[in-house]
Amino acid sequence: MELQTISQVSKTFQISTRALRYYEQLGLIKSVKKEDYAYRTYDETSLAVIRQIVILRKLQIPLKQISVILNDENISAALDVFTKKADELQSEIKALSTIKAILDSFIDKLKSSNISVKSNLLSDKILQELSETLTVTRTTLREEKSMNELNRAEEELSRLNDVRIVYLPPATVAASHYIGDNPEDNAGEVLDNFIKSTKLYQTKPDMRHYGFNHPNPTETNPVYGYEMWVTIPDDMEVPAPLVKKHFNGGLYAAHMIKFGNFHEWAWLDEWVRNSDKYEAAPSPEGSEVMFGCLEETLNYVNRVQTDAGLEDLQLDLMIPVKEKQR
């Protein structure tokens, strides 16, 4: 089979190029380089592993456990991971079933009587009666589930309920920009060295760290770039190749992820599209700079001082928004 470029694989499996490079960093997959081609490509062996990763992620298996499964030649590791995940889900199912049963009981009472919500519906007596009569029924599932069913289940579970609306204040930033292979790490290395050499974490302990594609990759051009910012004092000068810029700030819809879960960008985009109160705010630069979207590294001050790894890194994905006109 002909080698597939990182952009082709990204489009086929609907995962970001950054996630693919992270899988490689974790040792889950390997890329190869075509002759006279500077960017990552993947052979059939890697594509088969990527297919497995995609399915396991849809089953909500964390990347650490996926690594354990793929690196174990027998089934014991997979059996252990799957059993623990099934136990976790059963606990969630039981809790949610209890909540649903209570709500159904409230609905039945409201439909069949003239109970006053303020005086009687939530009384200790009624709650006690409900708790004594509730039963949690197990749903019998077929052992075999198709990929289409799995996709529908993931779609249902991917509806976000933790989106925050945050205001980012205007700020002066030091910007690091790199276009080429692995742009995040290359841009980040320059910025990290600047922060450590200036001990910025001491002069600005409230510094914040943002990043975004610049430019975005396209179907015809897999080359893309990444730009990173760190907030600095207004009067601070920065050495080349860093550039001093002004960030206007603004209103954003924010959703926190663990590093590697960049597929959740689609979930946040869907939340904004379906919001009754907010809509995406247009970016003057458009797709060139990811439509104004940002990735903020949380607790960056601690991370840059301790050289912490990526496994515990958390990011806020942020889409610029504005309130809809009534």
Q: What are the tens digits of pLDDT across the range 31-85? A: 887 766 667 789 999 999 999 998 888 888 888 899 999 888 888 888 999 999 9
Question: What local confidence, expressed as pLDDT, does residue 25 receive?
Answer: 85
Return all residues near 306 (Cβ < 8 A) that are at least 6 apart.
none
* Per-range mean pLDDT, top range of 37-51, 185-199, 273-287: 185-199
Architecture of domain 164-323: Alpha-Beta Barrel (3.20)
Percent of the chain with pLDDT over 70: 82
- Is residue 233 within 8 A of residue 173, CB to CB? The reply is no
E strand or H helix at 230, and its extent? strand 225-232
Question: What local confidence, expressed as pLDDT, does residue 99 receive?
Answer: 77
pLDDT confidence of 105, banded at 50, 70, 90? confident
CA angle 203, 204, 208 (to 5 degrees): 155
Token pair for 166: 């945050």
- Is residue 13 within 8 A of residue 51, CB to CB? The reply is yes
- Torsion (CA) 261, 262, 263, 267 in degrees, nearest 10: 100
User: Among 246-255, 258-267, 268-277, where is mean pLDDT lowest?
Assistant: 258-267
- Is residue 165 within 8 A of residue 251, CB to CB? The reply is yes
Domain with CATH 3.20.80.10 in the chain: 164-323
Q: Is the pLDDT of residue 116 over 70?
A: no
Q: Is 185 helix (H, G, I), strand (E, B) or coil?
A: helix
Q: What backbone phi and psi angles, to 5 degrees, belong to 135? A: -130, 140
How, if at all, do strands 164-168 and 40-42 pair?
A: unpaired
Select the more confidently predicted residue: 57 or 296: 296
Number of other CB atoms surrounding residue 213 within 10 Å: 22
Question: What local confidence, expressed as pLDDT, does residue 14 receive?
Answer: 82
- Is residue 241 within 8 A of residue 194, CB to CB? The reply is no
Select the more confidently predicted residue: 284 or 214: 214
- C-alpha 159/C-alpha 50 separation (Å) is 24
Pick the CATH number of 4-70 from 3.10.180.10, 3.40.50.300, 3.90.600.10, 1.10.1660.10: 1.10.1660.10
Domain with CATH 1.10.1660.10 in the chain: 4-70
pLDDT confidence of 202, banded at 50, 70, 90? very high
Q: What's this model's pTM, rounded to 2 decimal places?
A: 0.75
- Is residue 213 within 8 A of residue 226, CB to CB? The reply is yes
DSSP string for 111-156? HHS---IIIIIT-HHHHHHHHHH--PPPPP--S---HHHHHHHHHH
Return all residues near 206 (Cβ < 8 A) that are at least 6 apart.
231
